[in-house]
Structure 1
């Protein structure tokens, strides 16, 4: 199963503006925000992430609702978090 999971943008990397550091349930990783075009997210905003790419911006209430749902489905969410933890975009 493939999931898009919400992450909170912590910072956009100054030297690589197509990358942002995000927090997904305590896991912090760089993700590619290039698909968001002319409206890149800012720190404090939320994005939906799939395989290291931000697909869209979402508001915080939607992000929290999705996180609650994902936590309720259990293992698929845990597997996605593990894959995110093991991935790196440098």
Structure 2
């Protein structure tokens, strides 16, 4: 199974056909070799360092929300808490 993650283009280098994207605040360099007509501020689906296609901001936000929800479900199953010093898997 492959997973492509939405990312916002924050800078483009036309000389190398690459872009810097923001993935949840983490900046990564990716290839734009597989997409055309993208500009700064656009959202793209990124897989293994390549932008696969351009998507709308609404679609990107919806997909990222689903990914966060999956992470929260996994954390709940593992008994992981975001609150320091607490463990939802333990009772006092």
Partner residue of 2:77? none
Structure 1: gaps spanning 5 or more residues: 76-90
- Please say which structure displays the higher CA radius of gyration: 2
Partner of 2:20: 21
Aligned residues: 72
Q: Distance in 2 between matches of 1:46 and 1:14?
A: 17
**2:9 is the counterpart of 1:4:** no
Query: What CA deviation, in whole Å up to 9, does each residue of 1:32-81 have, x standing for no partner?
Result: 01101xx2310000000000000000000000000000111118xxxxxx
User: Which structure ranks higher in relative contact order (CA pairs < 8 Å, sequence separation ≥ 6)?
Assistant: 1
For the 8 Å contact 1:45–1:57, the answer to whether it is kept is yes
Q: Secondary structure at the match of 1:35?
A: coil
Q: Which runs of 5+ in 2 are unaligned?
A: 73-92
Aligned to 2:79: none
CA distance in structure 1 between the aligned counterparts of 2:20 and 2:60, rounded to whole angstroms: 17
Partner Cα distance (1:47, 1:15) in 2: 19
Show structure 1 runs of 4+ deviating over 3 A. none
TM-score, normalising length from structure 1?
Answer: 0.74
- The one of 36, 46, 51 equivalent to 1:49 is 46
